Amino acid sequence: MTITESGPVGGKTNSLLAVVKIVWAAAPGKAVAHLSLNILGGVLPVLTGWLVKVALDRLSDRISMGELLVPAVALAVVGVVQAFSQHAINYFRADLSRVTSIIAQGNLFTSVNGFVGLARLEDPSFLDRLRLASMSGRRSTNEVLEGSLGFARAVITSIGFLTSLTVIAPVMAAFLLIFAVPVLMAELALSRRRADMLLRISSHERREIFYDQLLTSPEAAKEVRLFGIGSFLLRRMQTERRHADRERRVVDRREFRTQSTLAALSASISGAGLVWALYASAHGSLSLGDVSIFIAAVAGVQAAAAALAAEGARVHHALALFQHYREIACMASDLPRSAEPAAVLPLRRGIEFQNVWFRYTEDQPWVLRGLNLCIPEGAAIGIVGVNGAGKSTLVKLLCRFYDPGKGAILWDGVDLRHMSPEDLRQRIGAVFQDYMSYDLSVRENIGIGDLSRLDDMPAIMEAAKLADAHETIVQLPHGYDTAITRIFFHGPEDDSDESSGVCLSGGQAQRVALARALLRNDRDLLILDEPSSGMDAEAEHEMQATLRVLRKGKTSLLISHRLGTLREADKIVVLADGVIAEDGTHKELLGRAGLYARLFTLQSAGYQESDDALSGRVGP
Ligand SMILES: Nc1ncnc2c1ncn2[C@@H]1O[C@H](COP(=O)(O)OP(=O)(O)OP(=O)(O)O)[C@@H](O)[C@H]1O
């Protein structure tokens, strides 16, 4: 990651403008109403102070009841407006928070979805930032908005009271004004420290969440219990929490020391001022009304100065977090996008890897070292190699989840980098080795293979039949509408209390994933990375027979460790040390007595030893 603290999105002023933009886009009318109410909220305390002074002065002058009525009624009206406006402010605050956070969330995840590749999502420092960005996208717009309005309110109130105080006690006004400066500076420094601390503890918090999920997820529960690692994981989780808490405590202590010292100083100043005002009143130089406005103004200025510092710090802190949000929301794609992408036409000649070198990061070894591979249109290619040989990496490069470090991958002669990644992926159907099972209904689990056919039941059922999943699905409690879930009762859309979600077996879930890929069977390239690894012998046998028919005449890549499933491929490619060690048909490779022949012989021997009777059916 090359993002600096200030980021490529400008400073805090730009972030403030970005918040204003979001708020304005979300609800301009409500934003104006909220702003007006906050300005009113700043003026009303000063108005109340002056009305009390007028009322007290008139009372001590023993004037008529009629003249007293004016400030009394005005005070009552101001009280009513103040009470109403506070509730209206609360309402607009909550509503603006809702509408702005939905826009911020949309912007953030639109940006993340726009990343072409996977590398950022595999980078821990990016994930830390993303977590902070997601948190601040939800909260910081509101924090910045409310903090700024609170700050504006405090400025108005303090100007009003300071002006009042200047009339009665100019020295006191100057004293309070000077004192507000260090308070503000101290609060800003504290908020900067808090924002830095949050970034520092982010990796501890992420690890804590990881252990938390391990301790509560049904997937991990079996091993956690069998190996008895619950308390080991708990200890690790709490170690992470303690690390984060240590950092938090340091900042809390500093805040406590600074804020309590400033509060004590502030109380001493107002105490001294009060003694002076009472003394001046006793000697006749201040009226009763003057004393009341003096007390209100000193308390008001101090409260406003504290609010200024607190709201300023709040805005500063929220803007610091909001920077993470903006950096990610404004981030360009990780892999370059062509300004004028070439059209991705149906495959006619084939796909070619030309001297492809690839490593995941610059400090890791090369996985592919000058790979040259041709996948002719219409050919069924099998890929073989020991664990870690780079088979899945090759597939990920084909889908352009990464770009080669050197060399190029060509689709009918056009470099994948010159195409729109979305258009390219539209032409590919795939089952990945680490396939997903979504907590959605079976229909949706298959339908998301081609969103345009999400409700096309005949097509979904056809894909399920091809993947040999149909018979299992129709026996589920709600057939294709049954949710595959352990998190939600029915599915994320419908979380009512009565459970009818099911948990599929590994092989059944793999068939659903295969059906999802086969819904895209009309695509130009079908990638199958260990598509039947979790299936029983008979199911795998039938599955391979189906796939053989489906792959006939179609461009496809099949990766499998069970070499028997690749026998009928047009060409088998053996990967080793980042290049093609050998290639040819099954027969040719066996005849060459190389790596393929050795692996195949080892597997055949294993099957024959285990059960000669079955070897004809489920051999490698
Ligand atoms: N996301 C990643 N980040 C860093 N290294 C990775 C990543 N994925 C794979 N690797 C590394 O790249 C190498 C090739 O991995 P790959 O998954 O392509 O192997 P494979 O041939 O598919 O292995 P297997 O047969 O075990 O599935 C391995 O050394 C692996 O550790």
Kindly give the number of the ligand 1 atom that is closest to the alpha carbon of 433: 27
Tell me the CA distances in angstroms from 344 to 348, 377, 394, 403, one per residue in order.
11, 14, 20, 17
Beta bridge partners of residue 502, listed in sequence order: 484
- Residues 307, 150 contacting (CB under 8 angstroms): yes
Q: Helix, strand or coil for residue 53?
A: helix
Answer yes or no: are the C-beta atoms of 548 and 558 closer than 8 Å: no
Per-domain residue ranges of the chain: 12-330, 441-523
Taking CA atoms only, the protein residue closest to ligand 1 atom 26 is 387
- Determine how β-strand 525-529 pairs with β-strand 428-431: parallel
Torsion of the alpha carbons at 598, 604, 608 and 610, rounded to the nearest 10: 90
**What is the 536 CA–ligand 1 centroid distance (Å)?**
26
Give which of 200, 224, 50, 36 is closest to 128, Cα–Cα: 200
592 in Cβ contact with 584 (< 8 Å): yes
What's domain 12-330's architecture?
A: Up-down Bundle (1.20)
Q: How far apart, in whole angstroms, are the C-alpha atoms of residue 399 and residue 524?
A: 12
CA distance 182 to 172: 17
- pLDDT given at position 494: 54
Integer Cα distance of 37 and 175 in angstroms: 30
Give the strand pairing for 571-576 and 406-411: unpaired
The alpha carbon of 390 and the centre of ligand 1 are apart by a number of angstroms equal to: 6
Backbone angles phi, psi at 346, to 5 degrees: -55, 140
Find all residues with CB under 8 Å of 385, minimum gap 6, and list them. Answer: 391, 574, 575, 576
Environment class of residue 10 by beta-carbon count within 10 Å: exposed (0-12), middle (13-18) or buried (19+)?
A: middle
Give, using CA atoms, the residue closest to atom 28 of ligand 1.
388
Q: Which amino acid is at 551?
A: R
Pocket of ligand 1 (CB under 6 A): 122, 360, 364, 367, 385, 387-393, 433
Protein residue closest via CA to atom 27 of ligand 1: 387
Report how far residue 118's alpha carbon sits from residue 120's, in angstroms, rounded to the nearest whole number.
6
| Residue 395 Cα: closest atom of ligand 1 | 18
- Residue 432 C-alpha to ligand 1 middle, in angstroms? 13
Mutation test of ligand 1: which of 356, 360, 435 has the most ligand atoms closer than 8 Å to its C-beta?
360
Which residue has a Cα nearest atom 9 of ligand 1? 393
Report residues of the chain scoring pLDDT below 50. 1-8, 491, 497, 612-619
Q: What ligand 1 atom has the least distance to the C-alpha of 386? A: 25
Which residue's CA is minimally distant from atom 24 of ligand 1? 387
167 and 320 in contact (C-beta within 8 Å)? no
Helix residue ranges per DSSP H, 61-123: 65-113
Task: Determine contact, residues 575/384, Cβ cutoff 8 Å.
Answer: yes
Beta partners for residue 579, in sequence order: 576
Find the 392 Cα to ligand 1 centroid distance in Å: 7
Give me the sheet containing 555-559, strands edge to edge. 428-431, 525-529, 555-559, 380-384, 571-576, 579-584
DSSP-derived 3-state class of residue 618? helix
Q: What is the pLDDT of residue 606?
A: 65
Residue 454 has phi, psi (to 5 degrees) of -60, -35
User: Which atom of ligand 1 is found nearest the CA of 393?
Assistant: 18
Assigned token pair, 9: 């999105």
How far apart, in whole angstroms, are the C-alpha atoms of residue 572 and residue 100?
Answer: 55
Beta bridge partners of residue 356, listed in sequence order: 371
- Residue with the nearest Cα to atom 18 of ligand 1? 390
Out of 393, 432, 573, give the residue to mutate to test ligand 1, the one with the largest number of ligand atoms within 8 Å of its CB.
393
Task: State in Å: Cα 367 to ligand 1 middle.
Answer: 8
**Ligand 1 atom 5: residue of nearest CA:** 360
Distance from residue 387's CA to the centre of ligand 1 (Å):
8
Neighbours of 6 (CB within 10 A): 12
Query: For residues 408 and 356, is the Cβ–Cβ distance under 8 A?
Result: yes
Nearest CA to ligand 1 atom 17: 392
Q: Which of 392, 397, 401 is the best mutation target for the ligand 1 pocket, counting ligand atoms within 8 Å of the beta carbon and taking the most?
A: 392
Distance CA 502, CA 48 (A): 64
Which tokens sit at 594? 């190389």
For residue 142, give both structure tokens.
Answer: 């509101």
Q: 521: buried, middle or exposed (CB in 10 Å: 19+, 13-18, 0-12)?
A: middle
pLDDT confidence of residue 240: 94
Q: Separation of 393 CA from ligand 1 center, angstroms?
A: 6
The ipTM of this complex is 0.98
Residue 323 and residue 6: Cα distance in Å, rounded? 7
Q: Residue 566: what are its φ and ψ, rounded to 5°?
A: -100, 0
User: How much distance in Å is there from the Cα of 388 to the middle of ligand 1?
Assistant: 5
Per DSSP, helices labelled H in 433-484 are: 442-447, 457-466, 470-474
Q: How far is the CA of 506 from the centre of ligand 1 (A)?
A: 22
* Nearest by Cα to 530 from 567, 558, 511: 558
DSSP symbol at 491: B
Residue with CA at minimum distance from ligand 1 atom 30:
388
Closest atom, ligand 1, to C-alpha of 396: 18
